[in-house]
Amino acid sequence: MKLTKQNIGLLLGPLSFIIIKYFFHPEGLSVEANAILGSAVWIAIWWITEAIPIAVTALLPIILFPLSGGLGLNETTASYGHKYVFLYIGGFILAIAIEKWKLHKRIALTIIKIVGTNVNFIILGFMIATAFLSMWISNTASAVMILPVGMAIVSQLKDNPATSENENMIFGKALMLAIAYSASIGGISTLIGTPPNLVLAGVIKQTYDIEITFFQWFIFGFPIAIILLFLCWIYLTRFAFQFKQKEFPGGRQEIKKQLQELGPISYEEKAVFLVFLLTAFSWITRSFLLESFIPTIDDTIIAIFFAILLFIVPSKNKSVKLMAWEDAVKLPWGIVLLFGGGMALALGFETSGLAVWIGHQMTSLESFSLLILLLILVASVNFLTEITSNLATTAMLLPVLVSLAAALGLHPFYLLIGATLAASCAFMLPVATPPNAVVFGSGYLKIEDMVKKGFVLNLISILLVTFFVYYLLPVIWDLPEITALKK
């Protein structure tokens, strides 16, 4: 067998499980906790090495937890039907409808048309369009949607005899990185914007019986995303790349041409956009408006309601609805399984006592101040997610941080939210995030381009996230007292 990362991981995963299950029995670690620990290490190794597809690895708890005695089968499989799994499904059905009727392209082109044809502002226009889309739909889908528009713009510049080849490549590199980075940054803004945010909400609900509402997350995440997006734009256009040619020859014509090709806004686009606006309005106002009329309303109920509505509202052709089941099967079911695996891990860590045991082993960190501890944690997660899935990282790490916070007497929200935000800020490698991989496939970028430019942006994001979580989280949110948190 050829020694590859995947093959090494394939053997190392089960081997580690056997060693931990049968030979690792430290004081205070229960049989159930030992089983969950061995299973978690196996899952983590397969996630990190991608021995098999990470979505398939997420199914391992269904086998390992019951057979090893860590958690019952019913409890384990129930995690795969967590309400946040259905929140994601509802959100993605809306995204599929937006893509199906090409509303995403019209939004992107209109934003770029508004910001003008200055090279720097064209990049800003793409960043705003991508970030806006990734607030509501998956970061991957946002990058995939915007990339063809971006490549059309670069090709227009390339075809112009008034520009040098070098300037074309610089613009192409900057625009591709701008699309990837803004897809990740935009996802920070909303609870459904990126999977780690939902994992966080699930862990907090499961552990402390506290719900993070869509609006509550938005008022904290949106300012971070806006500031990071602006800093990213300044960095890309002023420091990472220099443009001698400020005006984009033919840019306005290319945007105009693409808009003309789309034709006048269709009935279907208007209908989908209205559903989109109603969904966003309901999510944002749910906690302070809708609950006054419908006390049992929930973000997941809202998502599923409007998703179903898309299958009811007819298109201009009355026999065809805005959404058909053939469209819905395009859902990224792998991410749905990853959610379930993450929830199962969180439940296993909590119910077996493993999370508490790990927390007690980490009490040596109590000598650090909260600010330094946060900085270390955010930096560690940031660089860890360069080589691992951000969803897998948060699923593995958050249950551990719950116990660490309890052991150190810290409010757990600082560590949990710091780690979750850091997981969305990996900008260096193509494998770090799907948007990075999407733009790397455009052919404009080399690995060294991404590493050099992304490293600086990683550092910027580490400092910004640490500052926001430490100084502004307790100001923006009314944090519950530690003593009031459910143990």
Kindly report, residue by residue over 321-343, the tens digit of the pLDDT: 999 999 988 887 887 887 788 77
Q: What is the rounded distance in angstroms from the CA atom of residue 122 to the CA atom of residue 51?
A: 40
Query: In this predicted structure, which of 24-38, 165-179, 459-473 has the lowest mean pLDDT?
Result: 165-179
Q: Give 343-376 pLDDT, tens digit per residue.
A: 788 788 878 888 778 767 766 777 788 999 999 9
DSSP string, 318-354: TTSBS--HHHHTTS-HHHHHHHHHHHHHHHHHHHHSH
**Out of 313-317, 375-379, 439-443, which region has the weakest mean confidence (pLDDT)?**
439-443
**Cβ(479)–Cβ(413) below 8 Å:** yes
Q: Which of 68-82, 141-155, 291-305 has the highest mean pLDDT?
A: 68-82
CB-based contacts of 451, cutoff 8 Å, min separation 6: 428, 429
Contacts of residues 151-154 at CB distance under 8 Å and 24 or more positions apart, as own/partner, are 151/442, 152/254, 152/258, 153/112, 153/122, 153/126, 153/248, 153/251, 153/254, 153/255, 154/444
Residue-level pLDDT at 191 = 87
In the prediction, which pLDDT does 477 show?
A: 85
**Domain parsing of the chain, residue ranges:** 83-328
Q: What is the pTM of this model?
A: 0.72
pLDDT at residue 37 in the model: 92
Structure tokens at 274: 């209205």
pLDDT digits (tens, 9 = 90+) for 379-403: 988 987 776 667 777 887 888 888 8
CA dist 480 and 57 (Å) reads: 35
* Model confidence pLDDT, tens digit, residues 143-154: 877 877 787 777
**Higher-scoring residue by pLDDT: 450, 117:** 450
Taking all residues of the chain, what is their mean pLDDT, rounded to a whole number? 85
Residues β-bridged to residue 77: none
Average pLDDT for 73-78: 94
Residue 215 · residue 288 · CB < 8 Å = yes
Q: What is the pLDDT of residues 4-48, one digit of tens each?
A: 888 999 999 999 999 999 999 888 899 999 999 999 899 888 887
**394 residue type, one letter:** T
pLDDT value at position 53?
Answer: 85
Phi first, then psi, for residue 321 (nearest 5°) are: -90, 170
The string of DSSP codes covering 128-153 is HHHHHHHHHS-HHHHHHHHHHHHHHH
On the question of pLDDT at 482 being above 80, the answer is no
Q: How far apart are CA 153 and CA 147, in angstroms?
A: 10
User: Which of 100, 80, 136, 106 shows the shortest CA–CA distance to 325?
Assistant: 100
**Res 418: pLDDT:** 95
So what's the pLDDT on residue 483? 59
- Among residues 80, 94, 82, the alpha carbon closest in space to that of 328 is found at 94
What does the alpha-carbon distance between residue 173 and residue 157 come to, in Å, rounded to a whole number?
A: 13
Of these ranges, 61-65, 438-442, 450-454, 480-484, the one predicted with the greatest mean pLDDT is 61-65
Q: What is the mean pLDDT of residues 110-132?
A: 83
CB 109 within 8 A of CB 259: yes
189 pLDDT higher than 90? yes
Q: Binning pLDDT at 50, 70 and 90, where does residue 487 land? A: very low
Interacting residues of 405 by C-beta distance below 8 A, sequence separation 6+: 359, 411, 412, 414, 415, 416
What is the Cβ-side half-sphere exposure of residue 144, based on CA atoms within 13 angstroms? 11
Under 8 Å between Cβ of 184 and 127? no
